Amino acid sequence: MGRVVSRVKKYKPVTPGRRSYEVLYDKEVSSATPYKPLLEPLRKTGGRNNQGRITAAHRGGGEKRHYRVVDFKRDDKIGIAAKVVSIQYDPNRTANIALVCHRDGEYRYILAPDGLASGDQVVAGPEAPLRVGNAMPLARIPVGIEIHNLQIFPHTKGRMVRSAGSSAQILAKEEDKAFLKLPSGEVRLFNTSCYATIGRVSNPEHTKVSLGKAGRRRHMGRRPRTRAVAMNPVDHPMGGGEGKASGGRPPCSRTGLIAKGKKTRNRKKASNRLIVKRRK
């Protein structure tokens, strides 16, 4: 095997902000403008709801974005091959996306798996070959193969295993059920009619990137975060106290929800019966 080349680019510390500044460099990612018919406007909320109240803290500002309409379903183009036009950056997710042109002339965006390149062919359907980027039902995927963009229920869009570098694995099959190990370590039951895409999601080195400076985080739409123990009691349950008090109570959110150790999953949730083994 050849030497694995890191795609993380580091800079010389010519300024304080450049000292820890790192970016991902991938020659496969195109610098071309996005495909306009697949763009939609993306309106910012600043973390406010329809009453103007903050429901998501530390949001606001950032560069303007367009939403890229990604085809997560993949099962409505059965047997129609598509050619990868380009691999593109998507500011709305950690993974890259691929612009594909189907044989019938329709363009779509799909999640780009790791290893997919411009000029490759992808296809969806039960008879699709076992190749990176192809989508097929779990019934047709061998045990042990890495998959992503997984449907929870048949004929819906893929909702699981979509972040950069993630993948799930089929452990076993029984009749119309498949046992899958998810990235969290949870083992869960899925219907074998659910579609999934072969391979792991692209951009696996996303977690290795260091932003380097606060301004880069502001460009991404994230505002400064104030420590809870530095606030007043009126602002946070952990605020107040004389000197550097550590809060005097277990770590919690602004609304009092315990942050470490408290189980928050609903015991009566219908999908609990599909979980074979919980994550650690």
pLDDT digits over 157-179, tens only?
A: 999 999 999 999 999 999 999 99
Q: Residue 190: give its domain's CATH number.
A: 2.40.50.140
Per-residue pLDDT at 4: 46
Per-residue pLDDT at 162: 97
Q: Does a structural domain hold residue 246? A: no
Q: Does a structural domain hold residue 20? A: no
Q: Does a structural domain hold residue 266? A: no
The two three-digit tokens of residue 262, written as one number: 């408290």
pLDDT digits over 42-78, tens only?
A: 999 999 999 999 999 999 999 999 999 999 999 888 9
Taking a C-beta distance cutoff of 8 angstroms, is the pair 209, 202 a contact? Answer: no
Q: Does a structural domain hold residue 272? A: no
Q: Does a structural domain hold residue 228? A: no
pTM (predicted TM-score)? 0.90
Using pLDDT thresholds of 50, 70 and 90, give the confidence band for residue 248: confident
- The count of domains in the chain is 1
DSSP helix/strand/coil, 112: coil
The two three-digit tokens of residue 155, written as one number: 């004929």
Per-residue pLDDT at 3: 43
Q: Does a structural domain hold residue 259? A: no
Rounded to 5°, angle at Cα 160 from 106 and 266:
140
Q: Does a structural domain hold residue 66? A: yes
Q: Does a structural domain hold residue 130? A: yes
Give the residue numbers spanning the domain of 94.
Answer: 27-207
Separation of alpha carbons 202 and 145, rounded Å = 16
Helix (H) or strand (E) holding 148: strand 146-148
Residue 189 exposed, middle or buried by CB count within 10 Å (0-12, 13-18, 19+): middle
Quick one: CA dihedral 94, 36, 40, 119, positive or negative? Answer: negative
Separation of alpha carbons 33 and 39, rounded Å = 11
Using pLDDT thresholds of 50, 70 and 90, give the confidence band for residue 1: very low
Separation of alpha carbons 30 and 33, rounded Å = 8
pLDDT digits over 194-233, tens only?
A: 999 999 999 999 999 999 999 999 999 999 999 999 999 9
